[in-house]
């Protein structure tokens, strides 16, 4: 699979893009950054978006996508999320107050998007790429994903504090190539990480002891302004003797 990292930070600011991972040029996981990294032609090719959870940094560019691609989109975009996430999108974003309900535009019969409720541990196949939601531990209901094709698998934790489910899935996986893991705050802000259910490098160090598979490990969700501190703390972490890498250093990778 091809992964293009449009954004992988825990907020937006100069040099920081919130989370959006583009797979095989047409499937997004989260919608924190779209228009600032894609041409209109590229954005028009997106067919599906899988959401980890309802927090703004993971969906903020979605409303603008419908504006931008209204003329060029031939088929409705498919939005996949847990019931909590889909309900939140419809109630708080596409409510005809914050933004138009594009699921009924241009016509009620054929709008700009359709919603699809997903459930943890089920497998969803989109053009040969298989997505398995995995429940994780965050302040709102959140899933990570195992994303797999015939060449390999990737596990993306989503926003989470320490959790076992990701590692159970990873250790069960026979073709795991990489794990992308929440690392949001410096070790000095452990209290904030605990409260907001994110991780520090100290948490990740403990968590990685649960991962029995030799694979690449990437850290994502650096909070705005903290990247230089967090990069140093990330690179001190090792898995099977290899440095954990900041995902923000990678624009594109083949898995």
- Binding-site ranges for Zn ion (CB under 5 A): 55, 57, 159
Nearest distance from C-beta of residue 72 to Zn ion, angstroms: 29
CA 223 centroid distance within chain: 15
Nearest distance from C-beta of residue 194 to Zn ion, angstroms: 14
Nearest distance from C-beta of residue 168 to Zn ion, angstroms: 22
Helical H segments across 45-137, by residue range: 62-68, 83-92
Nearer to Zn ion, 159 or 177 (CB): 159
Nearer to Zn ion, 223 or 245 (CB): 223
Nearer to Zn ion, 94 or 185 (CB): 185
Nearer to Zn ion, 93 or 215 (CB): 93
Nearest distance from C-beta of residue 76 to Zn ion, angstroms: 26
CA 178 centroid distance within chain: 14
Helical H segments across the chain, by residue range: 40-44, 62-68, 83-92, 165-172, 190-196, 201-208, 227-235
126 neighbors 27 (Cβ within 8 angstroms): yes
Helix, strand, coil share of the chain (percent; to 5): 25, 30, 45
């Amino acid at each position: 699979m091809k992964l293009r990292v449009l954004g992988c930070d825990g907020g937006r600011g100069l040099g920081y893009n919130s989370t959006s991972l583009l797979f095989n040029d047409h499937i997004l996981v989260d919608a924190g950054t779209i228009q600032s990294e894609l041409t209109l032609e590229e954005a028009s090719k997106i067919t599906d978006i899988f959401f980890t959870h309802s927090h703004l940094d993971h969906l903020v560019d979605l409303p603008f996508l419908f504006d931008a691609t209204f003329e060029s989109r031939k088929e409705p975009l498919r939005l996949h999320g847990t019931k909590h996430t889909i309900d939140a999108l419809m109630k708080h974003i596409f409510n005809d107050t914050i933004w138009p309900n594009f699921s009924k535009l241009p016509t009620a019969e054929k709008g700009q998007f359709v919603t699809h409720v997903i459930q943890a541990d089920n497998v969803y196949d989109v053009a040969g790429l298989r997505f398995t939601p995995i429940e994780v531990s965050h302040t709102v209901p959140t899933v990570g994903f195992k994303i797999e094709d015939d060449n390999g698998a990737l596990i993306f934790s989503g926003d989470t504090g320490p959790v076992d489910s990701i590692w159970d899935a990873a250790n069960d996986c026979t073709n795991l190539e990489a794990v992308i893991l929440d690392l949001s705050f410096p070790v000095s802000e452990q209290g904030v990480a605990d409260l907001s259910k994110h991780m520090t490098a100290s948490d990740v160090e403990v968590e990685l002891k649960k991962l029995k598979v030799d694979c690449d490990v990437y850290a994502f969700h650096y909070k705005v302004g903290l990247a230089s501190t967090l990069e140093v703390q990330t690179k001190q972490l090792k898995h099977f003797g290899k440095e954990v890498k900041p995902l923000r250093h990678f624009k594109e990778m083949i898995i």
